[in-house]
């Protein structure tokens, strides 16, 4: 009986260690894969889509506040003609506090809001390739959240 208990405990411990090692190896592999994604995502966000223009607050001189990078902001541009569903603010993207990966994929790949709704202007409608969307998500998750979003 004691031998059965000892063997069972050893098997459970071994299974736990193997599982923990597999999880650690998977996390390391994912982090390696996302290092390149983060750089590509940064390029797509900052240089191609220009997301900081609306999603980063501005100082009194109209310059982007680097200390609040991608933390959401009031929309400073206005349409020439009134648009009824024009958004007044852009949500925080830093760390993706308000969106799941699947919701952001929907926005970036299908041009739909997080819940499947129509995006409000001035948000652009994107139909990105899944690898580009994943790179953008990796970058946004790497950007530090604001103190109230921790």
pLDDT of residue 5: 64
Query: pLDDT confidence of 147, banded at 50, 70, 90?
Result: confident
Domains of the chain: 37-77+88-145 (1.10.760.10)
If residue 109 lies in a helix (H) or strand (E), which one and from where to where?
A: none
Instruction: Write the pLDDT tens digit of every residue in 95-110.
Output: 999 899 999 999 999 9
The pLDDT assigned to 29 comes to 43
Structure confidence at residue 13 as a pLDDT band (50, 70, 90): low
Taking each helix axis from N to C terminus, what angle separates 130-142 and 2-43, rounded to the nearest 10 degrees? 100
Of 85, 86, 88, 107, nearest to 98 (Cα)?
107
pLDDT tens profile 51-61? 999 999 999 99
CB 75 within 8 A of CB 124: no
Residue 11 pLDDT > 60? no
> What is the C-alpha to C-alpha distance for residues 136 and 133, in angstroms, rounded to an integer?
5
């Amino acid at each position: 009986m004691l031998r059965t208990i000892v063997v069972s405990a050893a098997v459970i411990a071994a299974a736990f260690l193997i599982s923990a090692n597999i999880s650690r190896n998977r996390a390391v592999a994912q982090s390696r894969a996302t290092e390149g994604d983060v750089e590509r995502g940064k390029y797509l966000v900052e240089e191609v889509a220009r997301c900081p223009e609306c999603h980063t607050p501005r100082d009194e001189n109209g310059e982007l506040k680097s200390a609040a990078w991608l933390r959401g902001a009031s929309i400073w541009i206005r349409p020439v003609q009134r648009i009824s569903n024009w958004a007044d603010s852009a949500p925080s993207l830093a760390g993706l506090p308000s969106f799941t990966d699947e919701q952001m994929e929907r926005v970036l790949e299908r041009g739909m809001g997080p819940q499947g709704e129509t995006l409000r202007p001035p948000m652009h409608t994107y139909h990105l390739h899944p690898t580009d969307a994943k790179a953008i998500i990796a970058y946004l998750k790497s950007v530090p959240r604001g103190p109230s979003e921790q």
